[in-house]
Structure 1
Amino acid sequence: MPPTHIRFDWAIKKLLRNKANYGVLAGFLSELLRKPITIQSILEGESNQQAEDDKLNRVDILAENDQGELILIEVQNSTEQDYFHRMLYGTARLITDFLEKGEPYGNVKKVYSVNIVYFSLGQGDDYIYQGKF
């Protein structure tokens, strides 16, 4: 029996990928995060690799809030045992991508990592996990 509802990951990849629909996506995510955000881009994993042997970092959405902070939003369907490490890698990679050579480390932008996963993360019974460093 086919699904009777549209999944968020399908909507991002099929309906909201067009720049003309970024307003709809930004509105939804602004409500979800309770902060006004602007969609910067929707990326494919291959576009994030700077070298052939580089780790594949699949960023689905790159957004920015009204304070200039970056928001990395990823939707993941397939199970990964070390997904928390993947989140850390994606966040670190985004920080380094937005810090120019010679720029002071004090200019590092704050990054939020939002991950919507369709599998158990293997810890607890909650649906929302919040980590702070």
Structure 2
Amino acid sequence: MKAKYINPFTDFGFKKIFGEEASKPLLLDFLNALLAQHNKIINLNFKNTEQLGQTEADRKAIYDIYCENEKGEKFIVELQKAKQNYFKERTIYYSTFPIREQAERGDWNYNLKAVYCVGILDFTFDDYENEPEKSEVVHTITLKDQNGKTFYDKLTYIYLEMPNFEQTEEELKTRLDKWLYFIKHLEDFQTIPAIFKDEVFIQAFAKAELAKFDQAELDSYENSLKTYRDLKGVIDTAFDEGKIEGKIEGKIEVAKLAKQMGLSTADIIKLTGLSESEIDKL
């Protein structure tokens, strides 16, 4: 059966639903559902997704979505389609850019605004094999001391392991449950389930409906979908066969294939951890 709605795990689909100016109400609702224990976000402003290091030798950070709320708090939202070597290290590195950009000239008291890094993962962490956390969907990480007491509450990492989300429509209870169900199953829906009848989700389905796209958007989506399917297969296979786990040769092999597939340098950096100059030499 032909899909009626876009695949949100594609770059095009993810940014169509959450990353456009008209998508702010959707992103706002999703983040408020995810960060329910914190103060409610009233407004969001999109920021430049490309962050530059302080010197030419520093690497760049290129986010899927980067925004700021009315309090000046920063939110990085990343979609990760396949396993990547040193993925956690990359997200931690990314979080340093919104921290450093808060520095002020002259006398400054170092009072920082909070930074949140959200990763929506189309795979599961290997770290939790044979651990109680293996089947959990939401992993929230903050800085704590050896006694489990919060040391610093303005830097938060949240990872969503989407393959672990197995709730049925009848089992959905929270707003976050609904969003995770929407993201995971969107491409399979032919009609809008009754549980999604409120205004925000109706808008989300409207933005995701392929019949409403013009030809240029359809072409962009089809290219993005092909890249998603091909690349996910390549990366997953490479990890399963141990080709890129800690091996620079394997990263280069994957980068070469990604270049042949027409992926952007930014996407290849995200997938392999190679630098821009290393990729340009391939």
- 2:111 is the counterpart of 1:107: yes
Identify the residue that residue 20 of structure 2 maps to in structure 1.
18
Per-residue CA deviations over 1:67-108 (Å, capped at 9, x if unaligned) read 432222111113212111111111111100222233525222
Q: Of residues 115, 122, 140 in structure 2, which corresponds to 1:130?
A: 140
> Aligned in 2, Cα 1:95/1:2: closer, same or farther, shift over 3 Å?
farther
| Secondary structure class of the residue paired with 1:95 | helix
1:97 corresponds, among 90, 94, 101, to 101
CA distance in 2, matches of 1:119, 1:88: 18
Range with bigger deviation, 121-130 or 48-57? 48-57
| Runs (5+) with no aligned partner, structure 1 | none
Is the 2:81–2:123 Cα contact (8 Å) retained in structure 1?
yes
**Selected match of 1:63 from 67, 72, 77:** 67
Q: Deviations over 1:31-82 (max 9, x none)?
A: 23223253321654xx323566542423222233454322221111132121
| TM-score computed with the length of structure 1 as normaliser | 0.74
Is the contact made by 2:47 and 2:66 (CA closer than 8 Å) also made in structure 1? yes
State the AA in 2 paired with 1:95: I
Rounded Cα–Cα distance in structure 2 between residues aligned with 1:78 and 1:103: 44
Give the SS at the match of 1:14: helix
Q: Matched residues, percent identical?
A: 26
Aligned-residue RMSD, C-alpha: 2.9
Aligned match of 1:85: 89
- Indicate the residue corresponding to 2:8 in structure 1: 8
User: What are the residue-to-residue correspondences of 1:19-34 with 2, within 5 Å?
Assistant: 19-34=21-36
Pick one of 45, 48, 51 that aligns with 2:51: 48
- Which residue of the partner structure matches residue 193 of structure 2? none
> Which protein, 1 or 2, shows the higher relative CO under an 8 Å CA cutoff with sep ≥ 6?
2
Q: CA deviation at 1:116?
A: 0.9
Distance, in Å, in 2 between the alignment partners of 1:8 and 1:33 is 21
Name whichever of 90-99 and 50-59 sits farther off: 50-59
Give the letter aligned to residue 8 of structure 1: P
Between the aligned partners of 1:8 and 1:42, the Cα distance in structure 2 is 21
- The structure where helix makes up a greater share of residues is 2
Count of residues paired in the alignment: 131
Based on CA coordinates, which of the two structures has the bigger radius of gyration?
Answer: 2
CA distance in 2, matches of 1:49, 1:22: 25
Q: Is the contact between residue 52 and residue 59 of structure 2 (CA under 8 Å) also seen in structure 1?
A: yes
